[in-house]
Amino acid sequence: MLRFGAVSYLNTKPLVETLPQHLGRWGSLRLDLPSRLARDLAAGELDVALIPSIEYFRNQSDYEIVSTAAIACRGPVWSVRLLSRVPMRQVRTLALDEGSRTSAAMAQVLLHEMHGLTPRTVPFPIGSQADEIEADALLMIGDRAMHPARGTYREIWDLGDRWCRWTELPFVFAMWVARRDRIIEPGLARRIEQALDASRDEGIDRFESIAVREAAGQGLTNEDLHRYFAENLHFHLGPGERSGLETFRRKAASIGLISGSNPVPTKTISPAS
């Protein structure tokens, strides 16, 4: 039985809505934090996982992208924001939300690209409030980014919007990755791809029912959550997303956030592999 892991965040719901049924008796699914999934996939405790794109770059020699299902954006993403107490060009300290490694790298890339900044970073623990953190700017993801922020901020960036405007490319936050040593059996990669892609397609068809089920627990209206799924997020890893992913890889490497990575493949592994 293959061990699958997916992020336990709201933006993952459409990708895993029907995945357990597709896995049946040949795969099990675990939901967890992105950092734990990345750690367990690297350690061989998971076989396939939806991991932050920055973690794929850091272990690229051992991993294969196995699906066109992904979490991406082609404009404003709403759930990833950078809030600054000073003009953005004056940021010297940056508090990074501990819930996401890719968004943390994305924020640092954009500050360097747009303003030539390399701020000192400090942690922004998941259970902390913004007013408890001493930093010029704070990266927020998920629930605390989607709800109105408390405090006085000079600038607020939606990082999806900033990235897409600056690069004219989509941004990929996470994708399905498998350990190469676990998918050597003939036909297995194709079976994994079919299950993940089918679950994504069915989840997209169920935006409305997922929104009805999840909205209240997130402090959102059904309409807001449906709009988030349908307009802010994009769930296909197409040619544009791969170009955005490759651009992110190169820019992250240029400021020392990753090293020794290779260009992003232009397509998923061959169905015959």
CATH code for position 227: 3.40.190.10
Q: How confident is the model at residue 269, as a pLDDT?
A: 57
261 within domain boundaries: no
In this structure, the answer to whether residues 20 and 61 fall within a common structural domain is: yes
Do both 58 and 85 map to the same domain? no
Please check whether residues 63 and 179 belong to one and the same domain. yes
Domain that holds residue 126: 80-167
Alpha carbon 38 to chain centroid distance? 12
pLDDT given for residue 166 in this prediction: 97
Report how many domains make up the chain.
Answer: 2
- 99 and 143 share a domain? yes
Digit-coded pLDDT (tens) for 67-125: 999 999 999 999 999 999 999 999 999 999 887 889 999 999 999 999 999 999 999 99
Residue type, 71: I
- How confident is the model over 143-166, as pLDDT tens digits? 788 885 667 899 999 999 999 999
User: Going by C-beta distance under 8 Å and a sequence separation of 6 or more, which residues neighbour residue 222?
Assistant: 208, 211, 212, 215
- Tell me: do 174 and 50 sit in the same domain: yes
CB 248 within 8 A of CB 109: yes
